[in-house]
Structure 1
Amino acid sequence: MIASILQFMRRDVTRGVAGTILLKVGSGVLAFALFSLAARTMSPDGFGIFATWLSVAQIAAVVGLVGQESLLVRFLNEYQVGERPDLTKGVLKSSLKIASLAMLIVIGGIAIVASMRGNWWLLILAVSAYTAVNAGLMLGSQIARSLVSILMGEGNREFLWRAIVVLFLLVMLLVHRQLDPAEMFAAMTIAMSVGLVAQIVSVARVLPDLRRTPARSETSRWRSSALHFWIASILEVASQYLDVILVYWMLDPTTAGVYFAASRLANIFAMVSAALYTFGARRLPSLYFSKNLREFERTSRLMAEVTALCVVAGLATIWIGGPYLLNLFGPHFAEQHSVLIVLAIGTAIQAAGGPAAAILQLTGHERIYVPVVAANVALRLVGFLVLVPFLGVLGAAISTTVSLALATIALNVLCRRRSGVDPSVLVLLRFPASRRGNYAVRSADSRD
């Protein structure tokens, strides 16, 4: 058994997935530390207001990117495999221009709506600045991940700035300084700016040859794909952050803060999903477009093996250590262990489903992905309206879990039918012979 484990760990895909998951887990630990320290250095209402505006800013950043972050992942990989530096330069210039203009419009909208609600102008300015820098970091991470490395892309987006903010919050806690939401957003924005600068420098170093290359465009292809990516990205981020806004609106700021803390802890499984997406977005498209079907299948199976281990370990952690983890946010958070367990079940099912969404989007089937995510958000909204008035925050958790489970099942069925790949952990139950007969990755040119 030990020999089998060692052989498993020596596989290049295993090391790649494990390394990416470790990066995500490390950033998740920092995120947990950041939010728990923020809860300790802010009043309960202040933390709830911060969590709500953070959710608004995350959604606004995705809206302002107009799908360009996913578009770059899709086409940079294709153009690199096809050795088309002219199109690589063209898509980079086009995406940067579109995202910059759209982000200015979104930030203006945030400022207008917030001022109409009577929010403090410093909070409006801080949230607007955070939204802009966060969007830049999201876009920069996609470019850096495709052209430089996963570490440069995701390390700066997820790890570096959080470490800086955690150190800042530790100092504030030691000196017994209470922060308001505007100060918290300002600290996060400054730290994220450091990561953005690092990404810009790293990407600039690998682009000298493109400076002499004339840029070419495939505008019709880009616009068509960007629209689907944009809608999908908005629905994805809404499914992650709209919950907190709804709880704030339907209940109160303190409860919104509690739900936010529980959902962040349950995201231990979302870290696995995000890591699989990150690794898959880096490796699978090049295998797909180069028609390396054997390696594509091998990579998918090994990703499923790592996922299964992480899901089992994560569920055990949440079940046993949940109350202790919640208590780090504050004593009143520990009372919501049942909410945490319900949310964890939903995110565990989502993680076990594997990178179905990534495979559908990155292999040219992004159109069928959008209706599934839209149905997920709509079902969750209906569940909130029905269950929250009767069950409170537990009703919100149940609604989230049911919608995640149904969306995961739908995505996996579509992924198997359209791409010929089973990305879930269920693939481990199949025998190699039948697996070879079932897998037939279809042409990237096929459309719905």
Structure 2
Amino acid sequence: MIQSIIQFMRRDVTRGVAGTILLKVGSGAFAFALFSLAARTMSPDGFGIFATWLSVAQIASVVGLVGQEALLVRFLNEYQVGNRLDLTKGVLRSSLKISSIAMLIVIGAIAIVANIKGNGWLLILAVSAYTAVNAGLMLGSQVARSLVSILMGEGNREFFWRVGVVLFLLAILLGHGRLEPAALFAVMTIAMSVSLGAQIVSVAKALPDLRGTTARSEPSRWRSSALHFWIASALEAANQYFDVILVYWMLDPATAGVYFAASRLANIFAMLSAALYSFGARRLPSLYFSNNHQEFERTLKLMAEVTGLCVISGLFLIWIGGPYLLNLFGPHFAAQHWVLIVLAIGTAIQAAGGPSAAILQLTGHERIYVPVVAANVALRLVGFVVLIPWLGVLGAAISATVSLALATIALNVLCRRRSGVDPSILALLRFGGSKRGTFAVRGADTGD
């Protein structure tokens, strides 16, 4: 058994997945520290306001990118395999131009809405700046992940900048100071700007010399894919962040802060899903477009093995240590252990489903992905309206978990039918869990 474990850990895919998961876990730990310290340095209502505007900014960043971050991952991998420098230059220029214009429009809309709601100009300015820099970091991380490394992409997006913010919050807490939401947004924006600068420098060095290359475009393909990526990413962001906004609107700021804290802890499994997406987005598309069937299936199988171990250990951690982790946000947070457990069940099911969403999107089947995500959002909203008046914040957690579980099942069924592989951990329970040779590159061209 020991020899088998050693051999398992020596596999290149295992090391890659494990390294990506460790990066996500580290970034998640610092995110947890950031939010728990923020809750300790703010009033309950202040933390709820911060959590709500953070959710608004995250959704706005995704909407403002209009699908260009996923578009770059999709086409940069294809063009790199085909050594198409002209199209590489074209898609980079097009994406930067479109996302820049769209972000200006979105930031203007945020400022107008915040002003109508009566928020102070300092908070409006801080949230707007955070939204812009966060969008730049999201876009830059996708390019850096494809062209440089996962560490440069995801590390700068989610890990390195949080270290400085956590140290700042520790100083405030030890000095018995108090923070307003606008001040924390400003500190986060400054730290993220440093990470964005590092990404820009690394990508500029990694790109081939494109100065003498004439940019070519495939506008019809790009527009079609970008539209589906945009809708899908906006719905995903709504799935992840709109809950807090609804709880804030239907209940109160303090309860929104409690729900936000519980959902961030439950994201221990969402971090696993994000790690699988990051690793899959870097490795799977090139295998798909080069028709390397055997390595494609081998990678999925090893990803499923790592996922199974993480899901089991994560559920044990949430069940035993949940109250202690919630108490780090404040004494009144610890009473919501069942909210955390319910949310964790949903995100655990999503993680166990594997990178089905990534496979569908990055291999040209993004059209069938969008209706599933839309149905997930719609079901969750209906559940909120029905269950929150009856069960309060626990009703919100139940609605989120049920909708997420149903969406995960649907995505896995579609992934098996369209790509011929089972990306979930259930593939480990049967021999030959994937059907060799059934996936084909035709979907990448048709968008079916």
Band of TM-score, shorter chain: over 0.9
Give 1:133-282 correspondences, 5 Å limit: 133-282=133-282
Cα distance in 2 between the residues matched to 1:4 and 1:241: 41
Partner of 1:10: 10
Q: Residues 260-310 of structure 1, C-alpha deviation per residue, up to 9 Å, x if partnerless?
A: 000000000000000000000000000000000000000000000000000
CA shift for structure 1 position 435 = 3.8
Q: Which runs of 5+ in 2 are unaligned?
A: none
Equivalent residue pairs, number: 445
Residues 64 and 102 in structure 1, CA contact (< 8 A), matched pair in contact too: yes
CA shift for structure 1 position 213 = 1.4
Cα distance in 2 between the residues matched to 1:273 and 1:198: 25
Residues 421 and 440 in structure 1, CA contact (< 8 A), matched pair in contact too: no
CA shift for structure 1 position 174 = 1.0
| Runs of 4+ residues over 6 Å off in structure 1 | none
Partner of 1:286: 286
Give 1:328-407 correspondences, 5 Å limit: 328-407=328-407
Are 1:318 and 2:309 matched, yes or no?
A: no
Residues 419 and 440 in structure 1, CA contact (< 8 A), matched pair in contact too: no
Cα distance in 1 between the residues matched to 2:240 and 2:223: 26
Q: 2:442 aligns with which of 418, 422, 445?
A: 445
Cα distance in 2 between the residues matched to 1:373 and 1:85: 34
Cα distance in 2 between the residues matched to 1:363 and 1:207: 23
Q: Which amino acid aligns with 1:172?
A: I
Q: Residues 56-103 of structure 1, C-alpha deviation per residue, up to 9 Å, x if partnerless?
A: 000000000000000000000000001111111110000000000000
Partner of 1:24: 24
SS class of match (2:209): helix
SS class of match (1:443): coil
Cα distance in 2 between the residues matched to 1:393 and 1:270: 20
Q: Residues 375-407 of structure 1, C-alpha deviation per residue, up to 9 Å, x if partnerless?
A: 000000000000000100000000000000000
Q: Which runs of 5+ in 1 are unaligned?
A: none
TM-score by length of 2: 0.99
Residues 41 and 177 in structure 1, CA contact (< 8 A), matched pair in contact too: yes
TM-score by length of 1: 0.99
SS class of match (2:210): helix
CA shift for structure 1 position 206 = 1.5
Q: Which amino acid aligns with 2:171?
A: V
| RMSD after superposition | 0.7
CA shift for structure 1 position 443 = 1.5
CA shift for structure 1 position 441 = 3.8
CA shift for structure 1 position 208 = 4.6
Partner of 1:71: 71
SS class of match (1:212): coil
Residues 421 and 433 in structure 2, CA contact (< 8 A), matched pair in contact too: no
Q: Residues 228-286 of structure 1, C-alpha deviation per residue, up to 9 Å, x if partnerless?
A: 00000000000000000000000000000000000000000000000000000000000
SS class of match (1:83): coil
Residues 294 and 436 in structure 2, CA contact (< 8 A), matched pair in contact too: no
Partner of 2:54: 54
Cα distance in 2 between the residues matched to 1:53 and 1:441: 45
